[in-house]
Structure 1
Amino acid sequence: MAKTWFVADTHFGHRGIIEMCFRPFASIEEHDAALISNWNSRVGGSDTVYHLGDFSHRSGRDCSHYLDRLKGKVHLIHGNHDREATRADERWLSSTPMMHINHQGHHITLCHYAMRVWPKSHRGSLHLYGHSHGRLSGDRQSLDVGVDCWGYYPISLDEILERLQTQPD
């Protein structure tokens, strides 16, 4: 059975991200190989992945260099480092600045940026974001799904729901 995954801020090819975010890798090549391996250890070929932005960054390679090595069908929610060529790549299942989905009985707003309110937020909907690299705490309805917060892996909604229960109201 196909699964659904969420991830943000992979920053493939971005040498500076290692130092900026204290990522535990000696080189960008090691970083990229680890993130690709982690992704493929969880995601199956028929799975759906929602990538909440900053897929890659001015690496001299286009995003297809990475997409061709990743399992799953990937939706891209635009991040500030996703160039027009990345956004327009035909391999994305969709490419959009924001998305609203219904998954496992939850209405979820997906955006690269954290929001204080979002559609149906006063009715219990969830909001998933990236961009902050773990520096912006969530609450019981919103959470950073960036790799810096989750051991450099894509995560499931069940994992998200479990962590949301530990967040402040």
Structure 2
Amino acid sequence: MTNQNFPRVLVTADHHFGHSSILRMGRAHFTDIDTHDEMLVAAWNAAVRPGDEVWHLGDFCYRCPPERAAKVFARLNGTKRLVVGNHDRGARHLPWASQHEGFVDTVLEGQRVTLCHYPMRAWQGVFRGAWHLFGHTHGLLEDTSQSCDVGVDRWGYRPATIAEIRARLAVTPDLPEERRRAAERDEGGDDA
């Protein structure tokens, strides 16, 4: 039986709070940016309990007035950590529990993970089962058995738990490119 009070780790990306142009890029079903932002806040809080930890992999808000960004941020459940994305100039001033440039290589709920706003073709530990979680592409790139787009466009506009990510990866048969190419090379033999 799962302890419902135990803090969980969730990962997400690409909310684009306050970014009205995002409505023309795959989110046209929202009537306006206020409706968009309210729905994303509701989806976040439905998925995240107050004691949970949330890693946001960039593009939290864009062209969003600082006061608006602060109000949205304050309404979101959980301890929030940022891995900076290309549209996070306006998010840097928010009271994140931690902020990271580039990527973070860490362990979340017993799983080694490389967190980055951008998708990678290779990452540390890939041959030993490490995952890579990313955003930025808004669902344009396919997952592999060890890498996953955690952007809200792929997860019902909400953060995903490590258990949910694990379940998605378990049914994704494609190996990461580096592992697949190494296997192809090794199968072909070394004639040199």
TM-score (ref. length: structure 1): 0.94
Q: How does 1:147-166 map to 2 (within 5 A)?
A: 147-166=152-171
How many angstroms apart in 2 are the aligned matches of 1:66 and 1:95? 18
In the TM superposition, what are the counterparts of 1:119-158 in structure 2 within 5 Å?
Answer: 119-158=124-163
Q: Which amino acid aligns with 1:73?
A: T
**Paired residues for 1:1-169 under 5 Å:** 1-62=6-67, 63-83=69-89, 85-89=90-94, 91-97=95-101, 98-167=103-172, 168-169=174-175
> 5+ unaligned residues in a row in structure 2: which ranges?
1-5, 176-192
Q: Name the count of aligned residue pairs.
A: 167
Three-state SS of the structure 1 residue aligned to 2:75 is: coil
1:68 is paired with a residue whose SS is helix
Quote how far apart the aligned CAs of 1:150 are. 0.7
Gap runs ≥5 in structure 1: none
Q: Percent identity?
A: 41
RMSD: 1.3
Contact 2:19 2:61 in 1 (8 A): yes
Specify whether residues 88 and 22 from structure 1 end up closer, same or farther in structure 2 by C-alpha distance, changes over 3 A only. Answer: closer
Normalising by structure 2, we get a TM-score of: 0.83
CA deviation after TM superposition for structure 1 residue 23, in Å: 4.6
Whole-angstrom CA distance in 2 between matches of 1:55 and 1:61? 12
Q: Which moved more, 1:125-134 or 1:115-124?
A: 115-124
Kindly indicate whether the alpha-carbon contact (under 8 Å) linking 1:11 and 1:54 is maintained by their aligned counterparts in 2.
Answer: yes
Deviation of 1:103 after TM superposition, in Å, equals: 1.9
SS in 2 for 1:137: coil
The whole-number CA distance in structure 2 between the counterparts of 1:46 and 1:14 is 28
Q: Which has more radius of gyration?
A: 2
How far 1:136 moved relative to its partner?
0.9
**Is the 8 Å Cα contact of residues 9 and 109 (structure 2) preserved in structure 1?**
no
